Structures are given as C-alpha cells and as structure tokens.
Structure 1
Amino acid sequence: MASIAVYSVKGGVGKTTFAVNLAWCSAQISRRKTLLWDLDPANGAGFLLGIDPGKKHTAHSVFADGSDPAKLIQHSRYPGLDLLPADESLRTLDRQLDKLGKKKRLTKLVERLAKDYDRIIFDCPPVLNAVSTQVMRAANVVIVPLPPSPLSARAFETVVEEVRGAGKGHPPILPVLSMIDMRRSLHRDARAANPTWPVVPLASAIEQCAVERQPVGAFAPKSPAARAFAQLWTAIERKLASK
C-alpha cells in the first residue's frame, strides 16, 4: 500500500480536482483498490464524485474517539474507488489533534486501512497546522499543483519546508505545473524553467468536472486533460516504485 497526498498551502490551484482525477486513474487505469480520503471540510472531493454528503457531521470521529474509518467509507460509481468523505466537523481537526497529543494518529489509521486498499489518496486542506504535519508523516509522496505565478512559487517553497519538517524520512515531492496555457508567455517561461515537471493543461474539460460531477477520464477519456492526468499518474507510480 502507498499513500499519496495532494497538497498546497494556496487555494484555487486545482488541488481537489487533482485528487479526484488521480484517484480515478488509480482505480480505473492501474486497477488498484483506491481510497480517496477527503480531509478538506469543503467536501469538494465528494461533490466531484457525485456523492452527496450525509446528514451527520461525523468525519472527525475517526480521529477523536478512534472510530473505525471503514464505517464512514462510501462506494463511488466507479469500481475499486471509495471515498472517506469530509464534512464541517473537520474545521476543528487541528485543535483536536493538538489536544489529543497523538502525532501519528493519521499514520495509525492509514495502517488500519492498508489491508483493504492498495492506494490511499489524501485531498488535503490548504493549511499549515497539525493536520498537514500528520499528512506529511503518513504520505509516501506529495503532489503539489503549481499554476505558473509568483504566488504559487512562494507557496511551493512553504510546502517544501513543511515536508522537510516531517523528519529525516520525509516523503518525496512531485511538483506539477497546472492550468498551463502555452499561448501565454509566463506559462511558457514556467515550462522552460521546469522541463521535467509533469504538466496538466488549462482545459475546459477539467472545468466541466464540477458540472458533470465526474473525473475527466470518465466523460472525456480522449481529451488532452484526461491524457495529462493519466501521464501524471504513471509518473507517480514510477516515483513510488523507485523508493
């Protein structure tokens, strides 16, 4: 089992869209039993998968009282892809973790789930707190979507510092240029400066994910966006294999 964190300290970079599409690639392309664990209180991952939230706000319970996370897992319409959904109860998760004083609570939960899943993908909240620290300890690789802008570059530096702060065995980081439009000079410069980074283009098909409430590979499998996510997933699997 391997766990992949999709993380940024900056909002609006496509983090949730990345997490959902990569989870779909894991289940549908690699045929791996995959859990998408949404840690963002906005519950965007569930929305994009067409899974409506439950009436009870109980996502925090697996951290607070050691409840079995399997009880909250929901199946998606896609074989092999399940969701551990988020809700508003996660807004205070960082304070709960600080109060509990258990620095490896998330890692222990991942170990419990490892018997049922080949891949666990975290959709992380865009924060620097106890939650992000625990994610860095639990992840095997960290994916950072980076639109080409100075603010994104600053956010990436912050992520690097956060990951390295996880300790000597910190997970490797895979930066990804996102929302790339090669007609724009700033975007071309960003691509030229980082020629080895994976690229996900600015594409209407990706924007349609929120309308269709499906991963792009499910409704536009031949689109450049679908190919880009598939190629990114291949790069992630290679990075995991090289560890």
Structure 2
Amino acid sequence: MKTIAVFSVKGGVGKTACAVNLAYAAATQSARRTLLWDLDGQGAATFTLRLAAKPGTSARKLFAADAELDALIQPSAYPNLDVLPADKSLRHLDRLIAEDGARSLKKMLKSFDRDYDRVILDCPPGLTELAEQAFRAADLLVVPLLPSPLSERAYDQLVAHLGKHHRKGPALVPVWTMVDRRRALHKATVDAFPDRVAIPYAVEIEAMAVHQAPVAATAPNGLAARGFNKLWAEVEAALR
C-alpha cells in the first residue's frame, strides 16, 4: 500500500479537486483498490463524491480512541473507490493532536494495508500538527500551486521545512493548478517549469460541486481530465 497526501500551505488552490480526481484515476485508470480519506473539516471531497459522515459518528474521535476505522468507510459510486468521510469535528483535530497525544496517522494507516493499494489523503491547508503527521505518514506529497511567484516561494519554503524536519519524508510532486495561459504571469510561470503538470482553469472543475463527480466521469475527453490523468501517471511513476 502507498499513501499519497495532497497538501497545500494555503487554501483555494484546487487541492480537493486534485485529491478527488487522483483517487478516481487510481481506482479506474490503474484499477487500484483506493481509499480517499477526507481529513479536511470542510468535507469538500466527501460532498463531491455524494457522501456524508454517518449520523452520530465523529471523524475526530478516530484519533482519540481505538475506534474501528473500517466501520466509517463508505463505498463511492465508482468501482475500487471507497471514502473515509470528514465532518466538522475535524476542525479541532490539531488541538487534540497537540494536547492529548492522539493516535498517529501513520499507525492508523497501517490498518488499511491489506484492503487498499492506494490511500489518498485530502489534507487541510496550513503547516499544522496534522500536516506534520501527514508528512511522516505519506510516501508521496502532491502539492497544488497557483502559477505565481508567491506560490513558488511557498513551495520553496515547504521544501526547506521538509529538508530540515523530515529528511526521510515523502517525495514531492508539485503541480500547477487553475492555469490560464491567456494571462502573461501564468504563462511565464508555467513555462519556467515545463516538466510540471499543469491543470487548466476549466469549467469542468468548477462544475464538480454541481455534478458531485470527478471531471473524468463527467467530461472524460476534456483538458482538465487529461491533465489529472497525466498527473496520476506521474504519481504512479514516482511511487515505483
């Protein structure tokens, strides 16, 4: 089993779109037994796949006690793709991790070893306690970036942080998101790093919340779907 964390220092960069579409590609394109674990209290990945946390459950409590993770996992509408949903209790998870010595994410992931080939973590933004757990647990970190010098600066700071505190940490796969090549800054920034996958600014991605489905399920021949498929191919190659 390999774990891929989708992480960004800041929000609003298409992180959840990346997580959902990578999970879909893993399950369909590669026929991997895939679990998408929504760790963001907003639950956007959960919503996008037409799911919700079960009534009376709390995703936060999974970290605080020996709760059975399997009991909360739900199948999606797509073969090979299951989801561990988020709920608003995760908003206070960092405090729990910092104060109460919660179970480590890495230890929890080991319980999925026999059932899944790939686990995709949709992490909340920011260098938080949960992020540090993800850095220790993941085999690979996918980092969505807006095409701007400030985003590149934030990525360089992340690389420096990992180099200092997680020297044996995950490999990194940066990806440009929301790319509009009609804008000079976007074009110049993306062209400076031609080896990085660039996901276009596309109506299909915005419509994910409307259709509650990955773009490859609703517009499989579109530029956005092809971009996410290309990103998944790069992720798979990096995990070999």
TM-score bracket, shorter-length normalisation: over 0.9
Pair 1:194–1:134, CA change in 2 (3 A):
same
Cα deviation for residue 17 of structure 1 reads 0.7
Q: Look up the match of 1:38.
A: 38
- Normalising by structure 1, report the TM-score: 0.94
Report if the CA contact (8 A) 1:10-1:152 is conserved.
no
Q: Which ranges of structure 1 fall in alignment gaps of 5 or more residues? A: none
Q: Secondary structure at the match of 2:176?
A: strand
Cα deviation for residue 26 of structure 1 reads 0.2
| 1:189 and 2:180 matched | no
Cα deviation for residue 145 of structure 1 reads 0.6
Within 5 Å, give how 1:14-25 maps onto structure 2.
Answer: 14-25=14-25
Pair 1:166–1:87, CA change in 2 (3 A):
farther
Report if the CA contact (8 A) 2:52-2:86 is conserved.
no
Q: AA paired with 1:207?
A: E
Q: Look up the match of 2:99.
A: 99
Supply the distance in 2 between the matched residues of 1:13 and 1:30 (Cα, whole angstroms). 25
Q: Secondary structure at the match of 1:107?
A: helix
- Normalising by structure 2, report the TM-score: 0.96
Q: Look up the match of 1:204.
A: 203
Taking only the aligned residue pairs, the percentage that are identical comes to: 46
Q: AA paired with 2:12?
A: G
Supply the distance in 2 between the matched residues of 1:168 and 1:42 (Cα, whole angstroms). 31
Q: Secondary structure at the match of 1:188?
A: helix
Within 5 Å, give how 1:44-123 maps onto structure 2.
Answer: 44-101=44-101, 105-123=104-122
Supply the distance in 2 between the matched residues of 1:158 and 1:185 (Cα, whole angstroms). 25
| 55-64 vs 73-82, which moves further | 55-64
Q: Secondary structure at the match of 1:145?
A: strand
Cα deviation for residue 136 of structure 1 reads 0.3
Q: Look up the match of 1:177.
A: 176
Cα deviation for residue 166 of structure 1 reads 4.4
Supply the distance in 1 between the matched residues of 2:112 and 2:26 (Cα, whole angstroms). 16
Q: Which ranges of structure 2 fall in alignment gaps of 5 or more residues? A: none
Supply the distance in 1 between the matched residues of 2:90 and 2:165 (Cα, whole angstroms). 22
Q: Secondary structure at the match of 2:59?
A: coil
Q: AA paired with 2:127?
A: L
Report if the CA contact (8 A) 1:146-1:178 is conserved.
yes
Q: Secondary structure at the match of 1:12?
A: coil
Supply the distance in 1 between the matched residues of 2:144 and 2:78 (Cα, whole angstroms). 24
Q: Look up the match of 1:218.
A: 217
Pair 1:79–1:220, CA change in 2 (3 A):
same
Q: Secondary structure at the match of 1:51?
A: coil
Which string of whole-angstrom CA distances, capped at 9 and with x for unpartnered residues, describes residues 89-137 of structure 1?
11111111122335x7110111111111000000000021210000000
Cα deviation for residue 175 of structure 1 reads 0.6
Report if the CA contact (8 A) 2:20-2:36 is conserved.
yes
Q: AA paired with 2:85?
A: P
Which string of whole-angstrom CA distances, capped at 9 and with x for unpartnered residues, describes residues 42-86 of structure 1?
000011111133333510121100211111111100011011011
| Aligned structure 1 segments of 4 or more residues deviating by more than 4 angstroms | none
